Amino acid sequence: MKNNEVFSFAASPEQLGVPSSAILNFLKRIDREQICMHGFLMLRQGRIASEGYWAPYTEDSMHRMYSVSKSFVSLAVGLMIDEGKLRLDEKVARYFEDLIPEDLHPYLAESTVRDLLMMSTPHSSTSYTRTDANFAKTFFLKKPSHPPGTLFSYDTAATVILNTIVERISGVPFLEYMRDRLLNPVGFTKEAWCIRTPEDTSWGGSGVICKLKDMAKLAYVCLNKGSWNGAQLISEDYICEATSKQIDNSLAGQYGYGYQIWIEQDSGFSFRGMGSQLALCYPQRELLFACISDTQGQADGEAAIRAAFREEIWAQIEDSPLPEDTEAYAKLQNYIGNLQILPQRGERSSSYAQKIHGQWYILHNNPMGISRMRFMFNGDEGVWEYENASGAHRLAFGVGKNVDGPFPQNNYFGKQIGVIPGSCYQCLASAAWVEEHKLNMLVYITDNYLGRFTASFAFEDNLISVHMLKTAEWFLDEYQGFAAGVQLGEEQHTL
């Protein structure tokens, strides 16, 4: 392969043994099942077979990677090991003399870098919560349940400890430490950053924000045993260990775990993040499939993506070039050009729209703390007005389409956990009539934090029934539960 071909586009997927029709069927299935994917990229033999984004996302969109960040931290640790600044068998407690208690439990005292890399800490769950003032400190204060290095238990605090070690040794954020050594050589976005912990270190377990192609490039380095364009950026030995089974996790229905990297079937490995941030790598087939998404709140959303990939694409790939299929390729390109996040499904109109337009409803006591609400309709757009514990709010939404705008809460975290900047998250909001008397709303938070809020509003005579659900980490708590209310008289319809 010529050096300048790495991450360049092939003339067609068929050149790389991938049918255009297979990718098209995959994309149609994703939309048919209304899986909220934001972007995808498929790489074969070092070249891009296909890439696309669901509007409003584009190839330049910065996106939260959630636990894919863990795999980035693993690479930072690998670079430190290459430089002789860190060892796999080192006890992690030695780097935290300012945080450990005098009576540190022996299981914690014996925990090594390798133990944490392969998610075999002595804890049975992540030690910190959103209210803790120092995430790293909780790792050493929580009572352990079993010896380290023995059992797999997914523990995001392990990654926080690892990236904090990198930052304490290097004196800079772990992404900055990686910049000249790994990120710049592969063309990683310079504006990439990481949400901070309450103690003001990088939140390496969940907080990296970068582009889809950035994630794919680092996954490709791993697929290529640490090299890029012929340059060995990180040692082959470390990458081979990191991407191979170091510990069993079959009780969780998995194929094994390496160093902050998951093991896949068919001799593969993957980066994985909440909401279906994925980089699926298969070295034997020189294949990489990466996507960014928000499937939170969708039952088995990641499983649905995997099933679509395996059944529509994987099964159709050949090891040699295929005959060109210009018709299928043209259809694929046209479909990619029209991808967009799908709104709430249902009817765009109902006789109830005019009946409830502008009518205030007083709600009885409810878990959301909403005291009153009303709906205003104007063609294919609307506004939901309501009052809750934080005041009066307005959310613009589309009827049968998405409307981009701010979600009306300003009490959520920003660039640092525990710090509330007082700004609103961006969102896509839509609604549709799922029954003549019932309006459903679907809101995707599309900011540095991703999440989903759904609501169902049922109207009968002068009564309203409400059901709200949220799927989001550490926010949207005000939008979960049931409520009932009654319509006010016309003379009281002022805010």
Instruction: Look up the CATH number of the domain holding residue 450.
Output: 2.40.128.20
Looking at residue 186, its pLDDT comes to: 98
Cis before 144 (ω within 30): no
DSSP assignment letter at 477: T
For the chain, the distance separating the N- and C-terminal CA atoms, rounded to the nearest angstrom, is 67
Q: Which of 231, 191, 226, 193 is nearest to 209 (CA)?
A: 193
Q: How far is CA 340 from the centre of its chain?
A: 18
DSSP assignment letter at 247: B
In a domain, 345, yes or no: no
pTM: 0.96
* CB contact at 8 A, 266 and 255: no
Provide the pLDDT confidence category of residue 167 given band limits of 50, 70 and 90.
very high
Quick: pLDDT tens for 255-292.
999 999 999 999 999 999 999 999 999 999 999 999 99
- Domain end among 279, 311, 337: 337
Quick: pLDDT tens for 97-156.
999 999 999 999 999 999 999 999 999 999 999 999 999 999 999 999 999 999 999 999
Looking at residue 298, its pLDDT comes to: 87
Quick: pLDDT tens for 416-432.
999 999 999 999 999 99
Query: How many CB atoms are closer than 10 A to CB 456?
Result: 16
Looking at residue 5, its pLDDT comes to: 76
Do 419 and 469 lie in one domain? The reply is yes
Looking at residue 494, its pLDDT comes to: 42
Do 333 and 357 lie in one domain? The reply is no
Looking at residue 154, its pLDDT comes to: 96
Quick: pLDDT tens for 353-402.
999 999 999 999 999 999 999 999 999 999 999 999 999 999 999 999 99
DSSP string, 117-138: HTT--S-SS----TT-S-HHHH
For residues 24 and 333, what is the distance between their CA atoms, to the nearest angstrom?
A: 9
In a domain, 347, yes or no: no
CATH code at 60?
3.40.710.10
Do 261 and 360 lie in one domain? The reply is no
Domain count across the chain: 2
Beta-bridge partners for 394: 385
For residues 96 and 114, what is the distance between their CA atoms, to the nearest angstrom?
A: 17
pLDDT at 227 over 90: yes
pLDDT at 220 over 80: yes
Q: Which amino acid, 418?
A: G
pLDDT at 44 over 50: yes
pLDDT at 492 over 70: no
Mean pLDDT of the chain: 96
Domain, as residue range, for 292: 3-337
pLDDT at 493 over 50: no
pLDDT at 495 over 50: no
* CB contact at 8 A, 331 and 20: yes
In a domain, 344, yes or no: no
Beta-bridge partners for 485: 363, 464
Provide the pLDDT confidence category of residue 491 given band limits of 50, 70 and 90.
very low
Provide the pLDDT confidence category of residue 299 given band limits of 50, 70 and 90.
confident
Instruction: Show Cβ contacts of residue 106 under 8 Å, excluding neighbours closer than 6 positions.
Output: none
In a domain, 224, yes or no: yes
